[in-house]
Structure 1
Amino acid sequence: MTDRRPPAFVLTGAFWVVCRNPRYLQELAARGLKILLITPRGWRERALAAQADPTGPAAMIDEIAFVDGELNQDGSFTAGVLARAADWRARYRIVGAYAVGETLVEPTGLLADALGLPGPGLRATRVCRSKPLQRWYLPEFAPPGAVLPAAERAAFEPASVEYPVVLKPAARHSSSGVVTVGDEQVLAARLADYPEHETLLVEQKVVGQEYSVESLVQEGKVVFASVTRKTTTESHAATFVELSHSVPSAPEPVDRALLEANATMLAALDFGSGIAHAEWRVDAAGRPVLMEVAARTPGDGLLALYRLATGEPLEPEIVRLALGEPADYPEPRRWTRQVYLEHREGVLDDVRVDWPGVRPVWLGEAGIWPDPPVGGPDGPGELRAVLVLKERGSRLGPLESSEDRAVCFLIDAPSPEELDALEQRVRAAVAIEVRDVD
C-alpha cells in the first residue's frame, strides 16, 4: 500500500533560535520536506506574524505548534510536544527530527525514538537535560559536590562542603542562577533565593580554564570534534556569563586530553547521531572536569564561528545526521572569536562602530544573524560583524545570565596572535551608549 502522507521534518526549540539560523529551513525546503515547528507558546504572536511574511525565512515553515511548559521544570513540555507530534504523525510521514535549542531536547528524543529516527538516543537526550543525571552517569568527570532535591534543601548542612563552591539550578540554561559562593553563611542565604520546586547542585569550584567541545556523531562514531576556548565574568564577578568564544582553541596540549575525555563521555551516554556541546574545565592537575553537556546546537555565535573558521556551515551536516545521510566536516583553517562587550547599567541609546565598512546590526529589529563572507586561510584579520542583541531603549542591568548581554562582535584572523591584536582594536572601535535611568 502506498503511503500518501507527505514527508516532513520536525524542528523544535525557541522560535528565535530557529529563525536566526535559517540554513536549517533552507536545507529542509531544498529537499522538498514539509517543515513542522514546535515552539513554546510564548512565541505564538511573533511566530505567526513572521510565518505570514513571504519575504522572511519563517515563510518556509508549513505548520507551527505551540506548547506550554516551564524552562526550570523538568519534563513540563513533554506532554504538549507528544500531543502535537501525534497529530502530525497521522498526517505526515515524519523522516527526521531535531532540537535546535535546549528547551525541547528531551521530548524530541522521545519523538525520534518512537518513530525510529536517527537521534542522540534516549539516554543521551535525558541525561543531557539533567545536571544531576550527568553527575550520576559520568562520575569520573564530575566535580565534588552534592545534589539538593527541592524537598531536602532545608536539611542541607553548608559546613559539609569545601569552599568556594558553585551553586547552580539543575534544570536552567544560559548560566541563569549559577553563582560562586565563598562561605557557609552566604550559601545558607543563597539557598533561599531559588524557587521552592528547584533542585540545586552545590559543587566545589573548579579553578581552571573553561572550554567547550563541539562534536558531530553518527551512529556512535565521532566524525568531527573541536575545542573552543571561553572566558566568563568569573574573572571579576561571582557569575559565569560567557564573554568570549575562540574557535579553535589556541593550540595547547590540553586539547588532546579534552578530546579524549569528550569521546569517553559520549560513549558512556551511548550517544547515537547528532551534535553534542559539552562544557569543560581543566583543573590544576590537568584533569578535564565536566560542567555540563547538551545534545543540541551550541548557542551564542558558535555556528557563525565554525563557518568562519572552516569555510563551511555546520547546519547542513546536522540535518544530514538527523536524516541518516553520511555527514562530514572540515578542520578549522582560520582563528575566530566572538566577544561580548560589558556595559554599564542604564538604558541603551545607541551603539557606534568606528570601523570602515562595518555598521552595527540590531538583531532586536532584524532578527536574523548576518552571513558575513569567509576569508581564505592566509587572508588578513577582519571584523565580520557587530551585533546588538537588545532593542533601542532596553534597560540594561548587571550580567547575571546570557540574556543580559547586549553587544558582541565576530572576528577572524590567520593566526592566534593576529586575532588577539584585532580584538583589542575592535574593542576600542565599538562604543555602547547608555544613559542613566530617569
Structure 2
Amino acid sequence: MRRRAVVFLTGFGVLGRNHDYITDTRRRGLVPLLVTPESFRESVAAARAHPGHVVHRIEEIRFVTGRLDSPESFTGEVAAVVSAWERDYEFVGVCAVGEVLVEQAGLVADRYGLPGPGLRASRVCRSKVLQRWYLPQYAPGHQVVPPGARAVARLDGLRYPVVVKPVSRHSSSGVVEVADPAACRELLAGYPAHETLLVEERVSGPEFSVEALVQNGEVVFASATAKRTTESTGGGFTELGHSLPYHGEHEKVLISATHDLLQALDFRDGMAHAEWRVAHDDGRPVLMEVAARTPGDALLLLYRLATGRSMEEAVLRISLGEPADYPLPRRSARQVYVEHPAGAVLRDVTYDGPADEPVRQPVWLADAGGQWPQLPAASGLRAVFVLVGRGTTLRAIGSSDDRAVTFVVDGADEAELDAHEAAVTAGLHVGYQPAGSPEAVGAP
C-alpha cells in the first residue's frame, strides 16, 4: 500500500529556518519528501550530524542537477524523481517553500491534480521578464536584453538612472544601478554570456512587500511589510530589514495592487510574496517582482510573533486542499541585518543586554546545522543569529548571501520596535579582524 506523502521542492536551507513544514506534515501522519538541488548536498550532510535537526524527519531526499541561474534545467530530473516515487507514495500535496524549483513545484501540482498556484502563475512568478510582459500596468520602463543583443541593444530611450537585473537570479544578486547609456553598455558586457538581462528605469520611492495566502483563487489573507535596503546606506538593493505589519499611507494601494496582480496571473492556491516600490513622483505602485512561494529571511517568524500562529501550517493546509485562514497581525515584529566592513574576518559576536533579558548570547547557526531554534516567550529581543561561521571573510553586501549577523525583535507597535532595535544595536558587539591585520576590532 502506498503511503500518503507531501512533496517539498526547495533549497534545503529554507527548511532549517522554517521547520514547521516538516514537523506539521509528520504530525498529520503524512510522509515528507524533499527534492533539492545537488548544490545543497553538503548542507544536508552537515545537518545530519545534528540529532535534533529536522532533516531526520524527512523520509527521502533526492538531489537534482541543474544550474541555479537556469531554473528550467532542473525540470527533466525533477520529473524523473517524482515519477519514480509514484511506486511507493500517493501524493496528497506539493509545496514550494523557497525560490529554487518554484516552477517545477507548479508542474508537479498540475501533473497530479493537486492544489498549486497554477501553471501561469508558477511560470510567470519565476521570470522578471514575464512579469513585465503579463503585468505591464505595474512595470517600470524597461528593456529586455537577450545574450546575443548586448552590443546592439537600444539603451538611449530609457530614463536614467537605470537598474540592470539578471532575470534568472534571486536575492538581489547581480542587480546594479548605472547612471547613463555608456556605463550601462559597459556593464552589460561584463555579465556571463548566457544571461538574459533586464534594464529598467530606477524607481525612486519606499520599498514594501505584500504577503498573501490564496485558496481557490480567492485571497484569504494579505498584509504589507515595510523594507529597509542597502540603498539607504551605501548603495545597492539588498534587504537589511523587514517590519510588519505596515499600516502607513500606502497600505491600501499596495494591498489592492496585489489583489489585482494575483487575479491577472490566475493565481489559484498557495502563498504569494510581491515586492513593490511606491513612486515618489506620483504615488503609483511599481512591481519589482512577485514570487509564487513563501517569503525568505525571517518573515514567517515575524508573522508568527505578530499573530501568534504558524504561517507554515496555513500554507500546508492550502497545499492539502483543507480550508485555510490566517489572522491579521495584532502586534509588530522586525528583523534587522547588521552591516559590516567588506574584507574583514568575522571573529566573534556577543551581546550585552539587561540581566533579565531571556536572550543572552547569539546563536551561531552553523553550529546547529543551519537550523533555527525555538525562541523565548518574552517579547522584545527574540534572537540574534550569526549566519556564517567564525573566520569567514566578509564580502560587501551585494546580495542576500553576503549578510552575516541578524536579530529579531517584537513589540506592541512601531515605537516599541524602534526602542528595542536601538537597545539591541547598542549592546551588540561584532568582533572583526581587518583584512591583512592580526588585530581584532569590535564594532558595536
> Do Structure 1 and Structure 2 share a fold, with TM-score over 0.5?
yes
Residue 192 of structure 1 deviates from its aligned partner by: 1.4
Residues 52 and 59 of structure 1 are in contact (CA less than 8 Å); yes or no, is this contact kept in structure 2? no
Matches within 5 A, 1:24-423: 24-48=21-45, 50-51=47-48, 54-249=51-246, 251-284=247-280, 285-345=282-342, 346-356=344-354, 357=358, 358-366=360-368, 367-374=370-377, 382-423=380-421
Residue 177 of structure 1 deviates from its aligned partner by: 0.5
SS, match of residue 265 in structure 1:
helix
SS, match of residue 94 in structure 1:
strand
Task: Give the Cα–Cα distance (whole angstroms) in 1 for the partners of residues 235 and 374 of structure 2.
Answer: 35
SS, match of residue 159 in structure 1:
coil
1:6-27 Cα deviation digits (max 9, x unpaired): 1111011111111222111111
Task: Give the Cα–Cα distance (whole angstroms) in 1 for the partners of residues 405 and 314 of structure 2.
Answer: 29
1:194-213 Cα deviation digits (max 9, x unpaired): 11110111100110000000
Label 1:374 to 1:205 Cα distance change in 2 as closer, same or farther (>3 A). Answer: farther
1:268-319 Cα deviation digits (max 9, x unpaired): 0100110000000001211111000001110001011001111111010010
Structure 2: runs of 5+ lacking an equivalent: 437-444
Q: Residue type of the partner of 1:265?
A: L
Q: Does 1:21 align with 2:18?
A: yes
Residues 150 and 185 of structure 2 are in contact (CA less than 8 Å); yes or no, is this contact kept in structure 1? no
Residue 49 of structure 1 deviates from its aligned partner by: 5.5
Task: Give the Cα–Cα distance (whole angstroms) in 1 for the partners of residues 420 and 52 of structure 2.
Answer: 36
1:26-73 Cα deviation digits (max 9, x unpaired): 111111111110011122243245357553211111111000111111
Residues 209 and 283 of structure 1 are in contact (CA less than 8 Å); yes or no, is this contact kept in structure 2? yes
Residues 370 and 385 of structure 1 are in contact (CA less than 8 Å); yes or no, is this contact kept in structure 2? no
**Cα RMSD after superposing both structures:** 1.3
Residue 184 of structure 1 deviates from its aligned partner by: 1.9
Label 1:237 to 1:167 Cα distance change in 2 as closer, same or farther (>3 A). Answer: farther
| Normalised TM-score (structure 2) | 0.94
**Runs of 4 or more above 6 Å deviation:** none
The residue number in structure 2 matching 1:378 is none
The residue number in structure 2 matching 1:11 is 8
SS, match of residue 435 in structure 2:
coil
Residues 103 and 126 of structure 2 are in contact (CA less than 8 Å); yes or no, is this contact kept in structure 1? yes
Structure 1: runs of 5+ lacking an equivalent: 376-380
Task: Give the Cα–Cα distance (whole angstroms) in 1 for the partners of residues 51 and 162 of structure 2.
Answer: 51
SS, match of residue 270 in structure 1:
coil
Residues 99 and 296 of structure 1 are in contact (CA less than 8 Å); yes or no, is this contact kept in structure 2? yes
Task: Give the Cα–Cα distance (whole angstroms) in 2 for the partners of residues 237 and 123 of structure 1.
Answer: 37
Residues 385 and 410 of structure 1 are in contact (CA less than 8 Å); yes or no, is this contact kept in structure 2? yes
